[in-house]
Structure 1
């Protein structure tokens, strides 16, 4: 929702700048000032929402990992501290977090371990792959290219920065949707497994 609202602010900003560049007299300077304030406010809200979401995801990740260790006897490839440090450590951040989620997925999915006998050799989820690739594409676009637009001063450059923001928001929304799908699927796997453990089949001898 925050990204959708931020995109609306960016679109309004682009339209306003286009009008101003076409005819300076058609846009009061006060409107440009209001647009600047809305843009700054939306950036602040996006930052707060990003870090709040990151904290909630890490809390879920720790709980999902604890449940996964209960559901499967096979050792996970990464120790628990990597659930946090894996996102920030140079180089290994390219694959450690995905390995962690892969192992949680395999440990949680009914019957997945029996297919391979180990977490390392398990078949990887297409959904997790889609989330991870989208996450890295989004990170590259929003973080890698943002310095080129962060200090835009001229109106054409500011307009391009707003268009860049819209593209980044679209990618972020896609990555977030896939992350939600991963979280909900793993949670459903674990709830089904834990429920089955608590209420064994009446046909079990």
Structure 2
């Protein structure tokens, strides 16, 4: 779903680029662009925005399902209590203030408890060495969220052609960052899953030999 979401952002960016080109042509010579072309682009822009919202919602649901499964596996793999209770796997994303901190801490704890030897080296989640990949993903997520908020306000206040053009450019920048964030999230999902699979296989191998 993260890959699908990224593809949707690519398509939306193409629509945004078309929008910028059409507006530039219109501003240079209003007779050079038929009104029907502008109207058609408006329709594509609205449809792409709707598809973006649906894809994002579906991706969020799938990511949360994976997060719960990874957390359940992590609790079996490590004896240390995680810093946040399971309800925060959902509420941590939406509760103001804590949503700047809790989701990263939750992923950090899952990463640490899943990585072979990480907990034993640090003796506790709070002192465990943090993953650079998780840091990169979280910073990208925060910046993308900030740009999305500003972008929505920019588009809502855009009435003249230059302002609409600027809003489309802002969308393109936001889409690029969203794709980068999704790529980092994919890397985290794959890495934590590999950690857990490796430890499961190692444990199964140990039980077989013990038997």
Are 1:152 and 2:135 counterparts? no
Q: Select 2:53's aligned residue among 31, 47, 58.
A: 47
**Count, aligned residues:** 205
For residues 209 and 200 of structure 2, the distance between their equivalents in structure 1, rounded to whole angstroms, comes to 18
TM-score, length-normalised on structure 1? 0.96
What SS does the corresponding residue of 2:148 show, helix, strand or coil? helix
Q: Spell out the pairing of 1:35-74 with structure 2 (5 A cutoff).
A: 35-74=41-80
For residues 71 and 121 of structure 2, the distance between their equivalents in structure 1, rounded to whole angstroms, comes to 20
Unaligned runs of 5+ in 2: 1-6
For residues 164 and 109 of structure 2, the distance between their equivalents in structure 1, rounded to whole angstroms, comes to 44
For residues 120 and 162 of structure 1, the distance between their equivalents in structure 2, rounded to whole angstroms, comes to 42
For residues 19 and 154 of structure 2, the distance between their equivalents in structure 1, rounded to whole angstroms, comes to 18
TM-score, length-normalised on structure 2? 0.94
Are 1:22 and 2:33 counterparts? no
Unaligned runs of 5+ in 1: none
Q: Spell out the pairing of 1:157-168 with structure 2 (5 A cutoff).
A: 157-168=163-174
For residues 150 and 168 of structure 1, the distance between their equivalents in structure 2, rounded to whole angstroms, comes to 16
| Cα deviation digits, residues 39-65 of structure 1 (max 9, x gap) | 000000000001000000000000000
